[in-house]
Amino acid sequence: MRTKRASRKVYLLQFDGDLPRTRGLEYPEIFSTKAQALRRIEKMFGTTGQLPDIEDDCILLWEVIPGQNDSRQVVWSFLGWHWMGKKWPRSETSNDILPRSGRSLYQLCREVYGS
């Protein structure tokens, strides 16, 4: 008897907008866990350096099961105002809380930019 092999999830980070730290990332970055991808975001933006623009930058973390149609969904997002009207598969349940700080990128941006 043959057993069905479980599909492994992968996580893709997609950057859009004028994010200076993501220039040259033409393809999404791939991670084996959501936690790894969020640590990458924290490393890029959560410490010192330039934060995303809350007006026109977009960061999406997709959960994907390779080989299955319609298996992708947004599980974490940072959406600038220009991106908020757009819909991505199952994005309504995503949030932008970072695990180490327990705060969102929006909160970090507001503290730095004062808005």
Using one digit for the tens of pLDDT, what is the confidence trace for 56-96? Answer: 888 889 999 888 777 888 899 888 888 877 777 666 666 67
Domain ranges of the chain: 10-113
What per-residue confidence (pLDDT) applies to 93?
61
Phi, psi of 33 (to 5 degrees): -135, 155
> What is the per-residue pLDDT across 35-51, written as a single tens digit (0 to 9) for each?
899 888 888 876 656 78
More confident residue, 107 or 63: 63
Tell me how far apart the alpha carbons of residues 86 and 74 are, in angstroms, rounded to a whole number. 12
What per-residue confidence (pLDDT) applies to 6?
55
Could you tell me which residues are beta bridge partners of residue 31? Answer: 11
* Residues contacting 3, CB < 8 A, separation 6+: none
